[in-house]
Structure formats: structure tokens, C-alpha cells
Amino acid sequence: MLFRNRGWLPVPFLLVPLLAPGVNDPRTTLIGAILMVLGESWRLWGVATAGTVTRRRSRDVQKLVNHGPFAWSRNPLYVGNFLIWMGVITLSGVLWFIPVAILLFAVEYFYIVRYEEGVLESIFGRQYLDYKARTPRWIPRPPAGGSGGEFHWAEAWRSELSTFGQYIIILGLFWAKDRWFPGGILG
């Protein structure tokens, strides 16, 4: 159930920073923006690498993607998501929420990744186990043999357009919060 509903997982990462009081300064704004850009860049590379293959909520997986950022980490889209949401929280200035968000993210994605790895192991067997043995789950590490392969940048940009729109909405909400509710909506 968590796997199928993973699109809702960012809600607490947005609601708490939006509702709680935060302290914004140029440093938190810059660090937050850098984290968001790094996270989205990593995600975009992952989407360009995998195309629509790994972004479905079904067990119908046709090929094991193990090049590009998938050679660096088995979960580059989730690593990108993590950086993006840490950036959103930092940008909001609600810094006390960062450790809570890390814990929430860890618990949520522990179960999602465990499910996905079971599916991939059942489909690809030894090929997936070999990939799993040489590729870290979370913290990216440069691969020994390079990470070349096929990339679909136009498809990735099209796929991420709605994500870019979400960023604009989030930034607009934070701007409105800072303008009309400087102490936080609940503050």
C-alpha cells in the first residue's frame, strides 16, 4: 500500500514547513536552493536514464537499469527526492524539522525500497543480486567501470515539467507565508 501511495509521502515535508514558524536568512535560502537544484539535477539524470521504466507503480519491469546514476546508487530518484525535500525544509527556515524529516524519510523509504528490491530480485534474479552487491543503496559512489549508457533527456524534461510547476507553487506558498504570516501560519 505504501508503494502505491508514495506520491503522498511529500505532504508532511511541505505542510510542516508551511505551517510552522521559520527563520529565513540569506544563508538558509542559498543552502535550500542549492540542495533543491542538486536533488532535481540528480533526479533528472535518473529519469533521463530510466525513462518511464522505473517510474511506474506496477511489477511489470522490462529491464534492469544499471547505468548513469543507477550505477552510482540503486535509488537515485529517491536520493534526489531526499535532497529536494531537505532543500525545501531548509529554504523554509523550519530547521528543527530536518531531523524529524530525515527520520520520516528513512522509515517511509525503508519499506518502499524493501518492496522494490524484492520485486527486482524476483524478476532479474542473479543479475539483480550482482548489481545490488556492487552498487550502494543510498549514498552515491562512482562506479568502477564508468556509468555510460542511453539517456533520454527530452523525455526526462517533459516528465519533470509538472515537478517544476510544483516547485513554483511551493516557492509561491513560502513567499506568501513570509509576506502575510511571518511567524508561521500556526505561529
pLDDT digits (tens, 9 = 90+) for 50-70: 986 555 555 667 889 999 999
Closest CA to 72 of 161, 155, 125, 149: 149
Domain locations in the chain as residue ranges: 6-176
**Sequential DSSP letters for 156-183:** HHHHHHHHHHHHHHHHHHHHHHHHH-TT
Q: Which CATH architecture has domain 6-176?
A: Up-down Bundle (1.20)
| pLDDT computed for residue 14 by the predictor | 84
CB contact at 8 A, 36 and 17: no
Low-confidence ranges of the chain (pLDDT < 50): none
Note the pLDDT of residue 58. Answer: 55
pLDDT at residue number 65: 92
pTM of the model: 0.88
How far is Cα 98 from Cα 83, in angstroms, rounded to an integer? 11
- In this prediction, residue 62 carries a pLDDT of 80
The pLDDT assigned to 183 comes to 74
What integer pLDDT is reported at residue 147 of this predicted model? 65
The pLDDT assigned to 53 comes to 57
Confidence (pLDDT) at 55: 57
pLDDT in tens, 68-101: 999 999 999 999 999 999 999 999 999 999 999 9
* CB neighbours of residue 182 within 10 Å: 11
